[in-house]
Structure 1
Amino acid sequence: MTSTRREQTAALRADRSGSGPTVAERPPARFPGASAAFALFGEVLLIGVLVTLVSLPVVTLPAALAAGIRHLRRFVAAEASQVSAFWADVRRAALPGALVGLVATVLALVLLLDIDLARSGLLPGGAVIEVVGWIGLAAVSVVVLSAAGAWSPERGWRPALRAVPALVRADIAGAAYLVAAAGFVVVLAWMMPPLVIAGLGCAALAVVAVPTRRRRR
């Protein structure tokens, strides 16, 4: 009797997690790993911690995001999502991704300097320059997040970056969501720096979730 109950409990757990056959006659979940909200929340926080650690040199942020995004994709699909796979992705993405991170960092600093100068009143047409600066920062954030989401060890960074314009054209609203995710990270870091950990995890989850959302036709 005890053995039967244990088997039933194990079957229910496998059903809920998506790792095994369903108990009831119904289609399998689209994202079985996301069925347990608390577990997903914990995984997002874990990825936030790992991405923060890897991106401490700043230029490694794209590689950290790429590895975190791939980890969360595996998790929500109820595939093997060991932390060791995250570190393996970091090793493969880090060196080429550092160049992407360096270019993105330089562009962001230049745009921030332009915004600061525009606000100081030293430049003619400061209001226009400030708007252009914010648009440029939004574009940099979309490129970094989209490229990180498109990266894979097989493709590398060049194809991932080349895919960004097509991804944006195919889903303008999705690009706006990514800008909002990047803005969310900045606001959290401004309010309380430790919250950037949760913000980076949420940004990685946004890259996973945005392309798969239901869209109006």
Structure 2
Amino acid sequence: MRRRKVRSRGRRTPGQWSTQFALFAECLLTGVWFTVAALPIVTVPAALAASARHLSAFVDGTPSSLGDFVGDLRTAVREGWRAGAAVIGCAALLALDLAVLAQEGVPGRSQMALLTLMVTALAATVLLRAAAAWEPGENWRGLFAVAVDDTRRDLSGTGILLGGLAVLLACMWALPILFMPMSGCVVGAAVAVRRRRLHRTEG
């Protein structure tokens, strides 16, 4: 009898499973929204910010629809188009570095290519942190400054985001179309990492 009682305590109720599955499904749907919104490339930061706002509202139990997502996207684009241009510039520079390192005869190209990939991954985590903290009226420069500091101080959170990006790349390698739903899971990870960071700071 005792064994049965102990086991029953460890079991999750159907309500818990349904809530977790609903959050997972919402992440997948948000990934599709993000992919469509990010197609112009310059809107990537804004699309991440709107996606993070939507998932945060879902977790809080606040009604949030596609219309709310589009409204946040418009606001984020209007306020953060410079951030989008900066992201394009950084991505172009990193892509150029990799293109140069792909050429034969470049000294130390393996080490430099690995360093470039590491910088790219860390830059992506900074972008995810900044987007997860965005609210209408926030200054993107300030968000990036805080995100850089959090990336350095919260190493476990940075590891979670790097792991999420690695899973996303693995899914894309297996089937490129998986980028659409799985990108929402990465945004969800960014929201979770931020909330955990805030909880630790407040505690």
TM over 0.5, shorter chain: yes
Larger Rg: 1
Inter-partner Cα distance in structure 2 for 1:122 and 1:212: 47
Do residues 189 (structure 1) and 135 (structure 2) align?
no
CA deviation string 1:128-165 (max 9, x = no partner): 21122112211220121111012110323122112112
The farther-off stretch of 183-192 and 134-143 is 183-192
- Cα offset for 1:186? 2.7
Residue 55 (structure 1) shift: 0.4
Question: Where does structure 2 lack aligned partners over 5 or more consecutive residues?
Answer: 1-14
How far apart are 1:115 and its partner, in Å?
A: 2.6
Which of 39, 47, 53 is the equivalent residue of 1:56? 39
1:108 CA drift (Å):
2.2
Deviation at 1:35, TM superposition (A): 6.2
Contact 1:108 1:140 in 2 (8 A): no
Does structure 1 residue 90 correspond to structure 2 residue 52? no
Q: Is contact 2:132–2:194 with CA below 8 Å preserved after alignment?
A: no
Residue 123 of structure 1 deviates from its aligned partner by 1.4
Q: Where does residue 113 of structure 2 map in the other structure?
A: 130
Question: Partner of 2:12 in structure 1?
Answer: none
- The corresponding residue for 2:85 is 102
Instruction: Map 1:158-197; keep pairs closer than 5 Å.
Output: 158-197=141-180
Asked whether the equivalents of residues 79 and 137 of structure 2 are also in contact (C-alpha less than 8 Å), the reply is no
Distance 1:180 1:109 in 2: 24
Equivalent of residue 114 in structure 1, options 97, 104, 117? 97
One-letter amino acid of the structure 2 residue matched with residue 77 of structure 1:
D
The alpha carbon displacement at 1:202 in A equals 0.5
Q: What displacement does 1:211 show?
A: 3.3
Amino acid at match of 2:89: V
Q: Letter of the aligned partner of 2:163 in structure 1?
A: A
Structure 1 partner of 2:194: 211
Match for residue 6 of structure 2?
none
Query: Structure 1 vs Structure 2: percent identity of aligned residues?
Result: 35
Deviates more, 1:122-131 or 1:182-191: 182-191
SS in 2 for 1:155: coil
Q: Which runs of 5+ in 1 are unaligned?
A: 1-15, 18-33
Q: Output the amino acid matched with 1:209.
A: A
Distance 2:142 2:102 in 1: 37
| Cα distance change of structure 1 residues 101 and 115 upon mapping to structure 2, 3 Å threshold | same
| 8 Å Cα contact 2:52-2:187 kept in structure 1 | yes
Q: Residue 112 of structure 1 contacts residue 133 of structure 1 at CA under 8 Å; is this kept in 2?
A: no
Distance 1:136 1:123, change over 3 A: same
Q: 1:99–1:182: structure 2 CA closer, same or farther, 3 Å change rule?
A: farther
Between Structure 1 and Structure 2, which shows a larger proportion of helix residues?
2
Q: TM-score, normalised by structure 1?
A: 0.76
RCO comparison, higher one (Cα < 8 Å, 6+):
2
For the residues of structure 1 that align with 2:91 and 2:166, how far apart are their CA atoms? Answer: 14
Aligned residue in 1 for 2:11: none
